[in-house]
Amino acid sequence: MERRRAVQAWRRGAIVAIALGFGLTSVAQTAWAQPKVRFAQVSFDFYWWPQWVAEEQGYFREEGIVFEPILINSPAKATQALSAGSVEIAPPTPDAAILAQLKGAPVRIIAGIAQKPMYELIASSRFRSMRDLKGTTIGVINLRAGSTLILQKMLEAAGLKHQRDYDLLEVGTTAERFAAVKSGGVAAAVVTVPTSFKAEEEGLVILGRAPEYLPDYQFNVHVVNTAWARREPDQPVKFLRATLRGLRWLHDSGNREAAARLMNRRNKVEVRYALRAVGDGQDGADLLIEEGEFLPGRGGVTLSDLDPDTLYVLE
DSSP 208-277: EEHHHH-SS----EEEEEHHHHHHSTHHHHHHHHHHHHHHHHHT-GGGHHHHHHHHHHHH---HHHHHHH
Taking the C-alpha atoms of residue 244 and residue 6, their distance in angstroms, rounded to an integer, is 55
| pLDDT score at 20 | 35
Higher-confidence position of 255 and 22:
255
| pLDDT score at 4 | 44
User: How many CB atoms are closer than 10 A to CB 238?
Assistant: 21
Indicate whether 1 pLDDT > 80.
no
Confirm if 86 and 35 have CB atoms less than 8 A apart.
no
Among 10-14, 73-77, 208-212, the range of highest mean pLDDT = 208-212
| pLDDT score at 151 | 96
| pLDDT score at 115 | 75
- Kindly report the pTM of this predicted structure: 0.72
Confirm if 65 and 239 have CB atoms less than 8 A apart.
yes
Taking the C-alpha atoms of residue 26 and residue 29, their distance in angstroms, rounded to an integer, is 5
| pLDDT score at 279 | 61
The C-alpha angle with vertex 58 and arms to 31 and 35, in degrees rounded to 5, equals 35
pLDDT tens-digit readout, 214-265: 887 888 888 999 999 999 988 988 998 898 888 888 878 888 889 889 888 8
Residue 280 buriedness (CB in 10 A; 0-12 / 13-18 / 19+) = middle
**Selection from 31, 64, 12, 62 nearest residue 20 by Cα:** 12
Among 100-109, 154-163, 283-292, the range of highest mean pLDDT = 154-163
| pLDDT score at 275 | 78
Higher-confidence position of 75 and 149:
149
Taking the C-alpha atoms of residue 13 and residue 217, their distance in angstroms, rounded to an integer, is 63
Among 40-49, 87-96, 134-143, the range of highest mean pLDDT = 134-143
Structure confidence at residue 170 as a pLDDT band (50, 70, 90) = very high
Q: Find the mean pLDDT for residues 16-42.
A: 56
Indicate whether 59 pLDDT > 90.
yes
Confirm if 51 and 243 have CB atoms less than 8 A apart.
yes
| pLDDT score at 26 | 40
Higher-confidence position of 117 and 187:
187
Report DSSP state, residue 188.
E
The values of phi and psi at residue 199, to 5°, are -60, -45
Q: How far is CA 261 from CA 15, 155, 244, in A?
A: 43, 35, 20
